[in-house]
Amino acid sequence: MGCEVLQKVAARPAESGLSLSCFRSFDEAIPWREALDAINLAAPRPDPFSTFGFLEHYYEYDEYFPGGQGFTLWLLVVFRGQEPIGYLPLKHTEERVLGLQASKISFLVLHDTDRPHLVARTTDEPAVAKACFRWLADHGADWSLLEFHQQEAGSPLAQWPTELPRSHYRLAHWECHENSTLRIRWPNLAAYYAELSPNLRGSLSRLSRRLGETGHTEVVSTRDPACLPALFELYLEVEERSWKANVGVGVGRSPLRENYMRELMRHRSLLEIDIKILLLDGVAVSGIMTGAFGDTRYLLQLAYDAALAKLGPGSPMLALCVRDSLLEGRTAFNFLNGFAVYKTRWLAEVTPTRIMQFYRRGSLPDWRRRVGDLKRRLERRRENQTPIYGNPQRIAAEQGGDAAEKAAGETPWQACPARAQATTAALQAAGAAGKLQRLAAADWLRLMPGKQFRPD
């Protein structure tokens, strides 16, 4: 990645002794790498997606701006004296608005991660936020739109900052993808199952049993970086036959996204990746990818064969990952965003979030938004209903994917010999490369609720 001269800019200080530096390359910020990671660990919500290493990874392998193409890094770091006390990873992009050029500032890390945020210790958050807003206001001529995606109510970026005068800027905000996180408070899996609704508990038990009766089942898993590539290929095979492939929301949506995940698996220090694959008659039919950081395990990807939708092959995989979190002593299992209705059934707590957009008054993005708001108001009057703000891909998946799964589920399961052979070859390669765990049918079924369940 390119190396540019560090820009030391004296923002109007939020308090005496504070200064702000805007780094345009990670190379120049390396001397503060350990200090920034320490701040992340001491922040109210430490997460893997704010570490220096992950920010570098995202910069290099993001599918939309690979290698930093198409944007300029704005890594804002606030110092008290010579010591950093907080940072805000942003990017500056140019976009076409009404046929003309306009500038936008947004988070560096946006998709398939947890809520992006300003990183600082609780006591330093107000001062760091004030310093960042003052610096952005001083450089207001360089941008027309400042956008903060997925901000929860307590975020210092979710409030109107006094540093942006209302005479020059205006705020637009609306609901965004909610986060769902399971706060782990049970001593064992039996206690967790006991709090699930009888409906979900019974469904998980019944469908797991039916899945085991359909054919020979086995769960294979690994955290060994040497084995992960082979199991990742099996996951991609499952995803190709899932509803995700129909709407383009999976890992396989682009070769760049696949490469992003492969590179992430190579660096255990960023996230400890775990991949589990459910086999039915030797064929991969469900896969789940999680990553562990600190006291939290994160759900990264989940897919299952649409032909087996009626048997819910994704649910046992989720249950096994919750069990992992319990055994590891984690305090949370983070489902990330979207599909909150489903995730609350697993006792996840939902955190609403909003998109915050600060427009420079009279700019092209400001006018485009005003026209859009007017159109939406007229549409609401005609339809006499509140519009749904959400991810169009998610909505399409929920509406169209269910029908596709239902149709596929009418066909009796038959294992494909060619797919079984390919799966066997992949598992042999994985086993030869490193450590692979296997759970036979009796073992994984024993971990599901119901008559077959036995506490750990």
Q: What are the Cα distances from residue 409, in Å, to 38, 85, 212, 308?
A: 49, 54, 16, 6
* CATH number for domain 196-338+404-446, candidates 3.30.365.10, 1.20.20.10, 3.40.630.30, 3.30.70.260: 3.40.630.30
Q: Could you give the 3-state DSSP secondary structure of residue 359?
A: strand
The burial class, CB within 10 Å (0-12 / 13-18 / 19+), for 386 is exposed
**Three-class SS of residue 302?**
strand
Candidates 375, 378, 287, 294; CA nearest to 330 is 294
Let me know if domain 7-180+351-380 sits in CATH 3.30.70.1290.
Answer: no
| pLDDT score for 421 | 87
Q: What is the pLDDT of residue 411?
A: 60
Q: What is the pLDDT along the chain (456 residues), one digit of tens a residue?
A: 333 333 344 445 556 689 999 999 999 999 999 999 999 999 999 999 999 999 999 999 999 999 999 999 999 999 999 999 999 999 999 987 777 788 999 999 988 899 999 999 999 999 999 999 999 999 999 999 999 999 999 999 999 999 999 999 999 998 999 999 999 999 999 999 999 999 999 999 999 999 999 999 999 999 999 999 999 999 999 999 999 888 888 899 999 999 999 999 998 899 999 999 999 999 999 999 999 999 999 999 999 999 999 999 999 999 999 999 999 999 999 999 988 999 999 999 999 999 999 999 988 888 888 877 777 777 776 665 444 444 455 445 545 545 444 444 456 777 788 888 888 988 998 888 889 999 999 999 999 997 554 444
The partner residues of 301 in beta bridges, in order of sequence, read 289
Q: Position of tokens 């998709």?
A: 111
Half-sphere exposure of 134 (CA within 13 A, CB side): 19
| Torsion angle, alpha carbons of 423, 428, 430, 434, to 10 | 160
Determine contact, residues 115/179, Cβ cutoff 8 Å. Answer: yes
Q: How many Å apart are CA 61 and CA 270, to the nearest integer? A: 14
Which whole-number Å values give the CA distances from 305 to 6, 236, 302, 320, 404, in the listed order?
50, 11, 11, 18, 11
Residue given tokens 């991969």 in the structure block: 284
User: How many C-alpha atoms does 251 have within 13 Å on its Cβ side?
Assistant: 22
Report the C-alpha gap between 302 and 327 in whole angstroms.
Answer: 21
Q: Where are the domains of the chain?
A: 7-180+351-380, 196-338+404-446
Of 111, 82, 415, the residue nearest 241 (C-alpha): 415
Same topology between domain 7-180+351-380 and domain 196-338+404-446: yes
Question: Which residues are bridge partners to 299 per DSSP?
Answer: 290
d(CA 45, CA 25): 25
CB contact at 8 A, 157 and 126: no
Distance CA 209, CA 311 (A): 9
Distance separating alpha carbons of residues 250 and 63, to the nearest angstrom: 13
- Two tokens at 117? 């945020």
Q: What is the DSSP string of 268-280?
A: TTT-EEEEEEEEE
Count other C-beta atoms under 10 Å from residue 7's C-beta.
Answer: 12
Q: Count H helices and E strands in the chain, helices first.
A: 16, 15
Could you give the CA distance from residue 290 to residue 416 in angstroms, rounded to a whole number?
28
Express the helix, strand and coil content of the chain in percent, nearest 5 each.
45, 25, 30
* CB-based contact 283:415 (threshold 8 Å): yes
Predicted pLDDT of residue 396: 55
DSSP state of 330: -
Please list, in sequence order, all residues whose beta carbon lies within 8 angstroms of the beta carbon of residue 118, skipping any fewer than 6 positions away. 86, 87, 88, 125, 128, 129, 132, 155, 156, 157
How far apart, in whole angstroms, are the C-alpha atoms of residue 384 and residue 369?
A: 22
Tokens of 273: 């990746």
